[in-house]
A and B are shown apart, each in its own frame.
Chain A
Amino acid sequence: MIRVAIQTDAIDVPAELDIHDAGGHGASASFIGRVRGDNDLTELFLEHHPVLTEAGLAELAHAATDRWALSALTLIHRVGAMAPGESIVLVLASSAHRAEALAATEYLIDRLKTDVMFWKRETFADGRIAWVEPRDGDHSRAERWD
């Protein structure tokens, strides 16, 4: 099973985990990225491309299933406005054994940050608005998987 979604609604993590629980997989690994409230951040807005973003997520999911023996994979990314504490992204990877599930999860979140078309815009309590700049560390982490 590969499930890829882009949505404005909150990510229902328990419901997504239930799908993996029901599959009888030996191991499931997960990653949840949440909005940090650093520097009095009041809103994080995620912009995406109406076509290419979903295609990019699907391509990434298939690259992971080609590379590791995964029995189930869920990749969900939110778009639109989010408040501190809300989940932005969920990666769930299931396999017969932990090593494949853990490696695939780390690969997916590393690559998602550099390879898929999402852009973050931050709004702060004083009214300041700023687009997030990519970090060099994100690219060095993503390149480890080349």
Chain B
Amino acid sequence: MALTVSYFAWVRERMGVADEVIDPPAEVTTIAELVGWLAGRDERGALAFAEPGRIRAAVDGAMVGPDAAIGPDVALFPPVTGG
């Protein structure tokens, strides 16, 4: 399934792009699997996703956990630090 994935903060910097269209293999169905696949895909992914526990995600506009299903619009980012 082709999907758009956007990156924020240091995840964006390490990936080198703010967003991209990707087409992971069919067995990648959850956020955790997507993060694992991106980490193994290339050097920038290995750098950005070396610590999966530090990655947060949103799918189609809603914050989700690592076991959530991926959707057409995924955002991957570090824990938030506003305020």
Contact = CB atoms under 8 A, between A and B. Distances in A.
22 contacts: A47-B9, A49-B8, A49-B58, A49-B77, A51-B61, A52-B58, A52-B61, A52-B63, A52-B75, A55-B61, A77-B83, A88-B83, A113-B81, A116-B80, A117-B80, A118-B82, A119-B9, A119-B82, A132-B81, A133-B79, A133-B81, A134-B80
A119 B80 contact: yes
B9 A131 contact: yes
A77 B80 CA distance: 14
Interface residues of A, number: 27
**Chain A interface helix/strand/loop/mixed:** mixed
Contacts of B66: none
Interface of A: 33, 46-49, 51-52, 55, 77, 88-89, 109, 112-121, 131-134, 138
Chain B contact-residue range equals 10 to 19
Give the interface centre of B75, B78, B79, B83 by most chain A CB atoms within 10 Å: B83
A52 B10 CA distance: 18
Nearest to A77: B82
